[in-house]
Amino acid sequence: MSEGAGRPVAFFDLDRTLLRRSSALALAGSFRAHGVIGRGQLAKAAAWQLIFVARGVSAEAVRKASEEGMMILEGFRVDDLRRMVASAMEPVLKPLVYSDPLELVQRHKERGEPVYIVSATLQEIVEELARELGFHGALGSTCEIEDGVYTGVSLRACHGEGKAAAVRELAAREAIDLAASTAYSDSHTDLPFLEAVGNPIVVNPDRKLGRIAAERGWPVLEFSELAFPVVRRLWPALVGIPLALGAGAAVWAAHRCLSGGRAA
């Protein structure tokens, strides 16, 4: 942890911290409509999501899922994905945003602290959300891009230790004082991310993170109110159907689970 190296910032996890559920899961209808995934892949992934929702997935399984799931993006244009996410922002993503973290974001800004979203979700998706919600920047998982097209090769899995490493790299690049910075998250798999800063704050924690927070005296917050009213959705909510583009929501992990492989 860097100390006295610059200004403090605030880092917010995305799924179940800033959003009520998985961002990639919420985008399932749009991904299906644009041909990123097929109907068969959705059906296989549904079984794996039961484990994911129960928070019974290991950090290693989620890391592998995030990396291997990048293969689905092969041949898909980056600009097309950005447009798809932008079109889903109002009807699909913003209705999942909690109001409490947005209030915290404003407080950090008033203190002159930049705010970032940090997530295992694909970088381009996280960037669009950060831009829409007024964050200064975003860190997500990255896929190799050639001539504006995804190759399917994972470059950075922003999960577990990888998430903490991404934060430290940003701190070194932007002269951020991590010892004076704050991080918010809900999952025990984000423990390295929370330990990377001087002010870790736990939000809607899973059981294991709740125990750790109690042992270490970390603040615990409960978010429940949504920031934006739900008027209508362009696609039905596909609860129980995950995607490879978010933390743990992976078609390849689902395949392993269904075929008897070790997914958790």
Active-site positions read 13, 15
- CA angle centred on 109, ends 189 and 170, rounded to 5°: 50
The span from the CA of 30 to the CA of 42, in Å, is 12
Burial call 33-51: b when 16+ CB within 10 Å, e when fewer? eeebbeeebbebbbebbeb
The span from the CA of 208 to the CA of 204, in Å, is 12
